[in-house]
Structure 1
């Protein structure tokens, strides 16, 4: 017992082990927050909203099969979401492994497994957000929680996987905001999702007085983009790992400094 106490107090524990424990706990906590934002808020909303990233792509393909192809996905929807998230992340993890950081990818893999489980198998809880009048509430709260999940994970040197790894790769190479890069990639997803789900919303009478496909699609796109903006703001507030500072040096001996 004394050896354990001494080891916990040692410099090697403080430098090597403690940071990894904190990072692991951060991945678990922030990915869970992310999953709650998607499952209990976005998925619970009567107006479809897409989380973005690989889970958003999974939602998009699921809705394409349901509303465009007319397939009955009730029995295997959760399994499809989970498997899509895991399989699609594999090539992206390889990019992150060689282009970002091996440790970054290892923790991101843990995050991917957690979110695949939550989105695929954790049931939604009725929080009273299933009416059209509560769609804005679901958008705001879901956007905040997802932003906390993504930004918190990035702050601790990991990510929620998927397009976040691509965004992090571009951020490292170009010095651009991770949240901004993710938003640009996800807006395209919002537009496609709006076009796919609009006919179903009209047929079910979810949007009273709306009978045009483009109008219904515009509402879906607007809510999703609002959610993306909220998530981007929260993500950038939390993610401070890559802030750049320019230093200007005035000297009579530039060759000495360069060398």
Structure 2
């Protein structure tokens, strides 16, 4: 048993093993988002927040003038510039995993097809919103994100050491207002509820910046500070 525990500890310290686990989580996150988009969101004309929501909005808006704009293409066009801009301000590993996630979502939207599960709009919103938040949390826990505003949120959070997911929600509300003007307030309202559930799920599952107080009593404060800062690198 002791040998097994030591083996697991060694695996956890192995960077290649950790990267493989992270990639697996990112892939699951992408698959889950494609499933949610097709099963819960599309039947109810919902849009998500962030760049994926903007891509969905663009797809619907351009259809009004008979232009077929692919949501998959929109996801790539919006996320790639953000990834390139943030690559110097955020770790390369984070940008890599995030890029894998949104690229997979874009590709899988074109190759996979899932049928709606519920006929009831409320059930679609409840299950879809919570699962959407879970899919984003999964990518974040893997050390990446789902791209878009996640890039921005992670960049700012790294700077101020505080989660800003509630502010991301408020920003998304502006987009929903525009969506309501164009496609009806009922769909915008349901989309806001969907995003609210998603945001609360993320806040519950991803608490990297949750604050705690640690008190040390020592006659060698500088040594303790140096050791603590070294462990955080």
**TM-score tier (shorter):** 0.7 to 0.9
Once the two structures are TM-superposed, the CA of residue 159 in structure 1 deviates from its matched residue by: 0.5
Decide which structure has the larger Cα Rg and report it. Answer: 1
1:59 correspondence with 2:56: yes
Once the two structures are TM-superposed, the CA of residue 88 in structure 1 deviates from its matched residue by: 1.3
Take 1:228 and 1:13, find their aligned partners in 2: how far apart are those partners?
34
Instruction: Choose from 114, 117, 122 the match for 2:112.
Output: 122
| Structure 2: runs of 5 or more not aligned | 1-6, 227-233
Take 1:258 and 1:10, find their aligned partners in 2: how far apart are those partners?
26
Aligned residues of 1:151 and 1:237 also touching (Cα < 8 A): no
The corresponding residue for 1:210 is none
Which residues of 2 match residues 128-143 of structure 1 at below 5 A?
128-129=118-119, 134-143=120-129
Over 3 Å counting, the alpha-carbon distance change for 1:196 and 1:119 in structure 2 is farther
Once the two structures are TM-superposed, the CA of residue 142 in structure 1 deviates from its matched residue by: 0.9
The corresponding residue for 1:148 is 134
Structure 1 runs of 4+ with >6 Å offset: 248-259
Take 1:105 and 1:90, find their aligned partners in 2: how far apart are those partners?
10
Which residues of 2 match residues 1-259 of structure 1 at below 5 A?
11=10, 14-45=13-44, 48-67=45-64, 70-71=65-66, 73=68, 77=69, 80-129=70-119, 134-198=120-184, 217=185, 219-247=186-214
Give aligned pairs, total. 220
Take 2:21 and 2:223, find their aligned partners in 1: how far apart are those partners?
42
Aligned residues of 1:155 and 1:240 also touching (Cα < 8 A): no
Aligned residues of 1:33 and 1:148 also touching (Cα < 8 A): no
Take 1:94 and 1:244, find their aligned partners in 2: how far apart are those partners?
31
Structure 1 length normalisation: TM-score? 0.75
Aligned residues of 2:23 and 2:142 also touching (Cα < 8 A): no
Structure 2 length normalisation: TM-score? 0.82
Give me the CA root mean square deviation: 2.8
Aligned residues of 2:40 and 2:116 also touching (Cα < 8 A): no
